[in-house]
Amino acid sequence: MTKTATRLRVVEVDNLKTACSTCSLQELCLPAGLNEAELKAVDELVNRRRPVKRSDYLFRAGTALHSLYAIRSGFLKSSVLHDDGREQVAGFHMMGDLMGMDAIGTSQHLCDAVALEDSEVCEIPLKDLEALSRDIPSLQQHFHRIMSREIARDYGVMLLLGSMRAEERLAAFLLNLSQRFAARGYSSLEFNLRMTREEIGSYLGLKLETVSRTLSGFQAQGLIAVQNKHLRILKIDALQELVSPHGCRG
């Protein structure tokens, strides 16, 4: 195979921390059932780590695609800029998520990716990923599943933006965050919002005042407790109810 170049790289002590085989994100970002040699190949694929400081760009719209990025820690947003300056937040991304997939089609990033807190990502050269996934079918499938899940997520966002009211949007948003934190071993009922009200609003197609008011409303109804960025979900089933009233769908 073509990747003998990377074989030259000496395995340093520091790299042990980097290795996918020892990374805590394994089950999120690696396919299961790889053998020794395959694991090693994947480790070599993802061997460049890169810190991204708060409010720094991971990549910018219009720049050439070099790599995809797997988030190791931290929190980022991706956003599309309209010609006249309006910003639309397209997603919030946390550990285990893969970013940059929108750029494969044109080899050029379509959105900006900005860190909302100090973060660390693993750089994955697209060419190498494609080459390796030819040799490891389960890696190939995994990659396809990840892209597909991004498409599915986008459909969900369209549903939200296209046909939900403000309360429903915000409830859906909070529940989504909750689930994702839970999937990563954090509390699903108590967490910090890493983004501003304005960013939430942009993501949900609402103005920041509406986000603020709606959150206050939820608090008044005893559904949540918010103080600044800190959020506690008090009645998760009531939020669920807001999103899909009384379990319809026969």
Partner DNA sequence: CCCGCGTTTTGACCCAGATCAAGCAGCCGT
Partner DNA sequence: ACGGCTGCTTGATCTGGGTCAAAACGCGGG
- Residue 158 binds: one of a copy of itself, DNA, none (C-beta under 5 to 8 A by kind): a copy of itself
Distance of closest approach, residue 210 Cβ to DNA, in angstroms: 3
Residue 181: other Cβ atoms inside 10 A: 17
Q: Which long-range contacts (CB under 8 A, 24 or more apart) does 191-198 make?
A: 191/231, 192/229, 192/230, 192/231, 193/229, 193/230, 193/231, 194/75, 194/92, 194/116, 194/117, 194/229, 195/75, 195/77, 195/89, 195/92, 195/116
What size, in residues, is the chain? 250
Answer yes or no whether residue 197 interacts with DNA by CB under 7 A: yes
Chain residues that interact with a copy of itself, rule: CB under 8 A: 80-90, 101-106, 110-111, 130, 133-134, 137, 140-141, 144-152, 154-159, 161-164, 202-205, 243-245, 247-249
Binds DNA (CB under 7 A): choice among 15, 73, 87, 205: 205
What's the closest the beta carbon of residue 198 comes to a copy of itself, in angstroms? 12
Q: Is the dihedral of CA 58, 61, 64, 65 positive or negative?
A: positive
| Residue whose CB is less far from a copy of itself, 56 or 154 | 154
Q: Does residue 2 belong to the site contacting DNA (CB under 7 A)?
A: no
Q: Is 69 in a helix, a strand, or coil? A: strand
196 lies in the binding site for DNA (CB under 7 A): yes
The verdict on 212 binding DNA (CB under 7 A) reads yes
The footprint of DNA (CB under 7 A) covers: 165-167, 193, 196-198, 205-213, 215-216, 226-229
